Amino acid sequence: MTLDTRSLTRRVFLLSGAALGAGILAGCTSTPPQDSSSAAPTNSAPNPAETTADGIRAQGDRYGIGQYNTQQVADELVWIDENVQPLKGGQQKRVLITGSTAGAGQLASAYLLKRGHTVVAHARNEQRAADARRDLPGLEDVVIGDLLDLDQTKALAEQINALGDFDAIIQNAGEYGLPDRELLNSNSLSPYLLTALVPPPQQLIYLSSDLHLGGSLKLNEVRSGDGIGYGDSKLHMAMIATAAARVWPGRRVNAVAPGWIPTLMGFHNGNISTPDSLRGGYMTQVWLAEGVEPGSGVTGGFLFHQQLDTRVNQLVHDSQAQEQLLAAYAERTGVPFPA
Ligand SMILES: NC(=O)c1ccc[n+]([C@@H]2O[C@H](COP(=O)([O-])OP(=O)(O)OC[C@H]3O[C@@H](n4cnc5c(N)ncnc54)[C@H](OP(=O)(O)O)[C@@H]3O)[C@@H](O)[C@H]2O)c1
């Protein structure tokens, strides 16, 4: 598999003069360690906490190395725990992150928690919710729903709405390597439903991928439920973001490509190394959600490492194509996109 195959020649331009997350990292107490994007697993995670939820015990060791996380993600969670300091100035936010039980979503959740923000996590089932409560101490709550099942996604939207207003929602959850019908539900229709059924917060962030470049609209497949490929789904994620940014000019809505990073998804199909920075893979979401650093007030953008990316599928900024996709979503789900 080649997930996000970026190189140093990547064409980007700075949103601001601010260095990458300089202000955010300045809040840390020590110099961050070398990124371990391609490092072999080394040391072990911290001791597991004896957390249970709804009678279900968290599984395995803390951070679930080899089970739902890589050693690199576990090491980064330890680094966050030991180094990240609260955001000063009382600018804390209330943030919901889908797919916060592993990988980039869990890292963004852990970072935002250490910064003093209020975080609501999302898990696919009760077992993964119990794991998240153990791995992410301090969560306000965990909402539950499997995005492969559209009825569960609708019920998830109701759970989210029952919790009241959020400042930011990060639609991070994503599947890889599943049959096309399942990818359509989890990576395209469910993010649409959560966008359409939950009142928009000030800040919305959608996890896309460089692989969106090879994606297509696939309107017939969306309408019929026949299914789409991963690249198509990541194009759709980016188009939901740019459509929402256009329809809701008062909100800040962006798509983010995290790069090819060493989460379990990054090592799918037996890859043994990943080229991009794990920290860079979640810091853009943190930076946007906090919205305090120069440049983080952007909207309608496709970003990589806090910079606008110029390598974007032309459909992403095509209003007519966005409208066609929203219409296909409405036809498939019966849920119109709110103006
Ligand atoms: N890793 C990369 O190199 C890469 C590159 C480009 C884009 N991305 C995108 O970045 C995002 C985060 O990926 P990652 O690398 O952090 O992957 P990951 O480690 O596999 O984590 C994915 C997260 O989404 C959750 N999730 C997946 N399917 C779900 C479903 N049907 N219902 C509820 N939750 C679900 C997972 O829950 P479980 O833990 O229960 O499975 C997990 O919390 C994804 O949208 C992915 O497509 C990743």
- Atom of ligand 1 minimally distant from the CA of 149: 31
- Atom of ligand 1 minimally distant from the CA of 207: 45
* Whether residue 191 has its Cβ less than 6 Å from ligand 1: no
| The pLDDT value given to residue 270 | 79
* Whether residue 146 has its Cβ less than 6 Å from ligand 1: yes
Checking if the pLDDT of 45 tops 50, the result is no
Single out the catalytic residue among 192, 206, 230, 329.
230
Cβ–Cβ < 8 Å for 226, 214: no
* Atom 44 in ligand 1: residue holding the nearest Cα: 174
CA-to-CA dists, residue 114 to 80, 142, 264, 276, angstroms: 7, 17, 23, 24
CA dist., res. 173 & res. 196, Å (int): 17
Give yes or no: 230 in active site.
Answer: yes
Question: What is the percent of the chain where pLDDT is above 90?
Answer: 80
Distance 90 CA to ligand 1 centre (A): 31
- Atom of ligand 1 minimally distant from the CA of 237: 45
pLDDT band at 19 (very low <50, low <70, confident <90, very high): very low
Please tell me which residue, 37 or 249, carries the higher pLDDT value.
249
| The pLDDT value given to residue 88 | 92
CA dist., res. 198 & res. 163, Å (int): 11
| The pLDDT value given to residue 54 | 61
* Whether residue 6 has its Cβ less than 6 Å from ligand 1: no
CA dist., res. 86 & res. 115, Å (int): 4
> Is the CATH number of domain 58-333 3.40.50.1000?
no
* Whether residue 124 has its Cβ less than 6 Å from ligand 1: yes
* Whether residue 99 has its Cβ less than 6 Å from ligand 1: yes
* Whether residue 239 has its Cβ less than 6 Å from ligand 1: no
Distance 121 CA to ligand 1 centre (A): 13
CA dist., res. 298 & res. 98, Å (int): 21
Query: Please, is 189 exposed, middle or buried when counting C-beta atoms within 10 Å of its C-beta (0-12, 13-18, 19+)?
Result: buried
Checking if the pLDDT of 44 tops 90, the result is no
The arithmetic mean of pLDDT across residues 312-323, rounded, is 98
Give yes or no: 88 in active site.
Answer: no
Single out the catalytic residue among 63, 234, 282, 329.
234
| The pLDDT value given to residue 47 | 38
Q: What is the pLDDT of residues 144-200, one digit of tens each?
A: 999 999 999 999 999 999 999 999 999 999 999 999 999 999 999 999 999 999 999
CA dist., res. 103 & res. 278, Å (int): 9
* Atom 33 in ligand 1: residue holding the nearest Cα: 124
